Amino acid sequence: MSLSLGIFLAIAQDVMSDTTCDRNWFGTKCEFACHCYLGTCNSEGQCLDSSELCQDGWFGDLCQYKDVAHEATVDAQFVNDNNPSTCVDLNSVGIKLKVPLFFTFLAIVLNFNKQITIFKVNFILSDSGKAPCQDMKNTTSGETIVVTCNNTQLVREVIIDWTEKRSICSIYVNGGRNLALKQKTRTSSIHRPDHAISRPQTAVDGSKSRSEKDNASCAMTSIQDPRPSWTLTFDEPYVIKLVVITNIKDHWKQMRGFKVDFFNEFQQNIFKYIDDPNSRIDTDELIIQVNVTDDLIKKINISIPSKRRPEQALYICEFEAFGDCVFPSFGLQCEDICNYHCKDLACHVTGECFSCDEGFTGVYCEQDLSPSTSGPSTLMLDETYTEAPYKLLVNNNINKLLTILFAVFAVVILLEVTGLAHLRFKSRRDSGTLTSDERLLRGHQLMELTPQDSPSLSSGLPPVPFPSMVNSRHTISS
């Protein structure tokens, strides 16, 4: 019984784990922060306010994508104000990014009162060169057009040109998702200032609040540590393009000569950043562009391999790693795969296909246009469904499996409890330790039996004593 009950409780706890998150956190491990406009989300990350807008600097699926256009310099008013109700007629717009990045996709919100025409996307690179959007794909959802490019160079400016003026309401440029939140961390030592403990997890708690007096708000190593290090390990490998380390400005000098190593799932060092000990970082944030195109990152390690002064230690107030799932996976936990009828198995981060294989149509290429389907069946979606078909299929199967498991465990536990109760009753009856009520109930049950039904009566064996035959003193004492 204990084994079955343990398994049952473990499954129930796992299924209900998403309800135990702190306010404005969600996910199976509470690893996603709410970025809705009013800062209120439900347990699935959906915004509770009617506007369905994200906080400034965020956009996309459940407001999880960093919008680097919000802090960029734009040569047109309103397009980066995160307000889709303010629109302006343009035939060209330039977005000068605050920090160069490896471009992935952008989203354009238009006023559909006017017809959409052909447009082009070009880049000015960090080395001042120019490049067009490589292998450009786009998908449309409502008033939003999503454009993806497959460029590998660092982009400093994004330029969008239309053949004629269009009514542009908002433009968002993807900076990735912060995949470091609530991930596993460890450190070589822990700094304990004034009886406070500076834990390694504070560097991935989503809070950039920091002060000289509140050292516990940052992850810090002990100054006695000869080789201080801090390590983050992702639940699964990701495509990481940008790392931001937030610190107290004066603490950077205590970390001079540090390095950041990036490892794949095979523990191979595939990229590294080495700090120049003779340089000085004059800002709170250090931004590292991760130039890795053919590999995934599983672990990141920050260390001071050779301390120059005894007081050196690691100080990390917040560590952010921006990236996304590896192709063709998508979803917040990269649990879904693009529909196999998406052309080249290519889809957006929401699962929407850019184009379909011949003979298929629909947002997810889920509808078979052939008169008779001889190949694998496809999932048909209704107009109200907004998730990827694979996700619906997987969730339905999981729900069915959990229902069956609950039913099976409920029956097993009921049988075990009933059997155990019967064994206990029989043991107490044979030892003569039944209570008066139990003897009375047993007597009534025997009186209701016929000689054919009762083994004791039909076999000639002496019957079980009735309550009237039981010693009254024994009855009182029991």
- pLDDT single digits (tens) 441-475: 555 554 444 444 444 444 444 444 433 333 333 33
- In 266-332, the DSSP E strands lie at 269-274, 285-289, 297-303, 315-316, 318-324, 329-330
Phi-psi region of 463 (alpha: psi -120 to 50; beta: other; left: phi over 0): beta
Does the pLDDT at position 210 exceed 70?
no
Q: Where exactly does CATH 2.60.120.260 map onto the chain?
A: 54-175, 184-324
State the CATH class of domain 54-175. mainly beta
- The whole-angstrom separation of Cα 265 and Cα 246 is 26
What CATH number has the domain spanning 184-324? 2.60.120.260
H or E element that contains 406: helix 389-431
Are 350 and 330 within 8 A, CB to CB?
A: yes
Quick one: pLDDT band at residue 478, thresholds 50, 70, 90? very low
| Eight-class DSSP state of 324 | E
At residue 439, the pLDDT reads 58
CA distances from residue 245 to 104, 189, 315, 357 in whole angstroms, order as listed: 22, 19, 10, 43
- pLDDT single digits (tens) 120-152: 999 999 999 999 999 999 988 888 999 999 999
Are 85 and 56 within 8 A, CB to CB?
A: no
- The whole-angstrom separation of Cα 18 and Cα 332 is 14
What is the value of pTM for the model shown? 0.74
Among all chains, which residue has been given the structure tokens 């729900």?
399
Among all chains, which residue has been given the structure tokens 């509808």?
367
Residues 6+ apart with CB under 8 A from 338: 328, 329, 330, 345, 346, 347, 351, 353, 388
Of 193-202, 385-394, 400-409, the one with minimum mean pLDDT is 385-394
Q: How far apart are the first and last CA of the chain?
A: 29
Six token digits for residue 94:
């330039």
Does the pLDDT at position 429 exceed 70?
no
